[in-house]
Amino acid sequence: MARGMKAELERQGLRVVMTRNDDSNPSYDDRASMANGYRDAIFISLHIATTGTVGSVRAYYDQMSAPYVPPADAASSPGKPALSVAPGLNSWNEAQRPYLNASHRLADLIQIELAQKFSGSGDTSLGAAVRELRSVAGPAVAIELSSVSGPDPDTLANAAAAPLADAIAQAITAFRAATPGGAKQ
Amino acid sequence: MTRNWKIFLAALVGCVVVGLISLRGLHRRVARLAKAEVTEEQARHEVLAPPVSTPTDVPVKAQMFWAGGPDGLAPVEIELPLSADAQERSRQLLQALIAEPPTPDQRTLPADVEVLGFYILPDGTAIADFSDALSNETPSGILSERLAVNSIVRTLESNVPGLRRLKILIHGQEVDTLAGNVDLTGFFDLNPSVPQPISPVAPTGPTPKSPPAAAVPKASGASPAPQKH
C-alpha cells in the first residue's frame, strides 16, 4: 500500500522518502531521526488496524500537555523537574511540541479529504499520544485504515492506496498554501 | 392446478412455516449462548480479580466510559458500591470497567485484564498497574489503544475527585507503548479543566505560543494528553 501511495504522491509532484522499503523494522526514534534530517519535511505514518468501521480512515495528531508543575503544597512531590535544555534546542522526546498546532491543522485537512473519499470516516481528526510522532521535529500525522482483515486484506489495502494518496496530496497542498512561513506554531 | 402441484405447494408452505419456527428458536439459542459467554467471562474474572469491598462502600451512580459510536466513548451510568477511599474507589471503578461493559461491543479493555495495583501520591498523581493482558490482548492500533486509555482516564476523572494525572504501568513496569502505538512513557492529564499553577519551570526548547493541548475541548476529538516528566 505504501509503495502504491508513493507512486501516486510522486505523480502529483511530491517528493517521497520511505522510512523503510522492506520487512525491516526501524525503531520509532530511527524513523523520527530520518525525518528530522530533511528540511521542511512532513511526516506521515501509515497504519492498518483490524478494528473500527470497515474501510474507514482516520488522521491522528500527537497530543502532549504542558510540562508537569507540582502543586505548591505538595512537599514530597514525586515529579521530576523538567530537564533543562540549552536555549534553542528541543528535548528529543518533546521535539513534536513546537509543531503540535501545525500537525493538528494538517491532520484536520487530511481528515476532510478522507471523509469525502472513505465512507464511515469521521469529519475531524483525533488527538492521541502516538509514540511514533513525539520526536518528529516537523508537522507529523498518523493515518490509520480500519478493519482491514478477512481473507484478502492486501486487496483492500492496495485499493485504498490511490484515494489515500490523493487525499494526502490535496491536504498537503492546502496546508502549504496556508502556512507559507513555516510550520512552527 | 393438478393434484401434484397442490401437494407440492402445501409441502412448500409447510417447509416455510417449519423454517420460520426453527429460525426463531435458533435466534433464541444464539442469544442464550452469547449471554452464557458473558457470564462465563465474568465468572472467570471474579475468580482472578475478586471484587474490592471496603467498610465505607456506598451504592452510588458511577459514570463509566465504554465504547460508543464508531470511534468514540459514551458515558454510561451504573450503580456501583464505591469506597470513600480514593485509592480503593479507583480500583473498584477499573474492575467494573473491565468486568461490566453493558454489551461486548462496548468493551474497551480486554476481559482478562487485572488491576494489580492502584496508588495515589500526595500530589494527585495516580499510578495504575495492570496485568500483561492489557498490553497483550488490546488489539494493536491507534483507535483501539486510544479507546482503552481514554476509557480509563475519563472514568477515573468522572468519579474520583482530586486526581491530577495518571501513569499506566504494565506488571509494575513502565512500557513504551500500550500495544505498539499509544505512548505510555508519559502521564495522562486528569481533570484538565481544573486551573493549574503557572509554570515556574524554564521552558525546554522553543516557547510554545499556543495553549497546552490539554485545553483542547474533548468534543473536537482530543484525548487526555500525556505529560513527559
Give the highest mean pLDDT range of A89-98, B80-89, B219-228.
Answer: B80-89
Q: How many CB pairs under 8 A join A and B?
A: 182
Q: Do A83 and B204 touch (CB under 8 A)?
A: yes
Between CA A16 and CA A41 the distance in angstroms is 10
> B50-63, pLDDT tens digit by residue?
667 777 788 999 99
Q: Indicate the range of A29-38, A67-76, B17-26, B214-223 predicted with least confidence.
A: B214-223
Mean pLDDT of all residues belonging to chain B: 80
Q: Where are the domains of chain B?
A: 49-194
Between CA B198 and CA B193 the distance in angstroms is 14
Between CA A61 and CA B213 the distance in angstroms is 11
Residues recorded for chain B: 229
When scoring A68, A73, A130, A133 by the number of chain B Cβ atoms within 10 A, the one with the most, hence best to mutate, is: A68
Neighbours of B87 (CB within 10 A): 16
Query: Architecture of A2-65+95-178 per CATH?
Result: 3-Layer(aba) Sandwich (3.40)
| pLDDT over threshold 60, residue A54 | yes
Q: Indicate the range of A9-13, A127-131, A146-150, A175-179 predicted with least confidence.
A: A146-150
Tell me the nearest-neighbour CA distance from B13 into chain A, angstroms. 38
Burial pattern B131-141, b for ≥16 Cβ within 10 A else e, equals bebbbeebbbb
Q: Do B192 and A128 touch (CB under 8 A)?
A: no
> B144-180, pLDDT tens digit by residue?
999 999 999 999 999 999 999 999 999 999 999 999 9
Which residues neighbour B180 within 8 Å (Cβ) at sequence distance 6 or greater?
A: B140, B145
Q: So what's the pLDDT on residue A164?
A: 93
In DSSP notation, B121-185 reads: -TTSEEEEEE-THHHHHSPSSHHHHHHHHHHHHHHHHHHSTT--EEEEEETTB--SBSSSSBB-S
Helix/strand/coil for A155: helix
What pTM did the predictor assign?
0.76
Residue B201 backbone dihedrals phi, psi, to 5 degrees: -80, 140
Over range A125-154, report the average pLDDT.
87
Q: Where are the domains of chain A?
A: 2-65+95-178
The candidate with the shortest Cα–Cα distance to B190, out of B131, B130, B124, is B124
Q: So what's the pLDDT on residue B213?
A: 34
Q: So what's the pLDDT on residue A49?
A: 87
Q: So what's the pLDDT on residue B39?
A: 53
Residue that wins the pLDDT comparison between B73 and B203: B73
